[in-house]
Amino acid sequence: MAEYLLVESQGRYAGPGSRDFLGDAERLAASGHTVTVLLIENGVTDGVGTGAGTGAGTGSDAVERLLEAGVRVWADGFSLEQRALAALLRPGVRRVGMDEVAEQLLRPAVQGVWH
């Protein structure tokens, strides 16, 4: 099976595209692929909160489904700091630096997709 790194840069407030992209990640995982989702730039807004007051039915719920499906969900530390969201990171979402992202992308088996 293939291995994917899906990069979400827009977040739930940019419209339904983010939710749809995260849904693609969930479907890839359900098909047996290894999937990591990186939330970066405004996409980190999907990785904060616990659902209450964070836009039920949108990005937060999608991230919860990803975690339940076994998808690794990463959030860019710089993007979190720039938006003062680091302390609000939801359980299961891992803060990462660009060194880890680069290491993942440079692996020959990994296919990167950016949204």
Give the residue extent of every domain in the chain.
17-114
The model's pTM is 0.88
Query: Selecting from 3.40.1260.10, 3.40.50.720, 1.20.120.330, 3.30.230.10, what CATH number does the domain 17-114 have?
Result: 3.40.1260.10
Closest listed residue to residue 39, CA positions, set 31, 27, 49, 52: 49
Average pLDDT, the chain: 89
Q: Other CB atoms closer than 10 Å to residue 48's CB: what's the count?
A: 21
Tens digit of each residue's pLDDT (9 = 90 or more) over 14-56: 888 888 999 999 999 999 999 999 999 999 999 998 544 444 4
Q: Is 3 left (phi over 0), alpha (psi -120 to 50) or beta?
A: beta
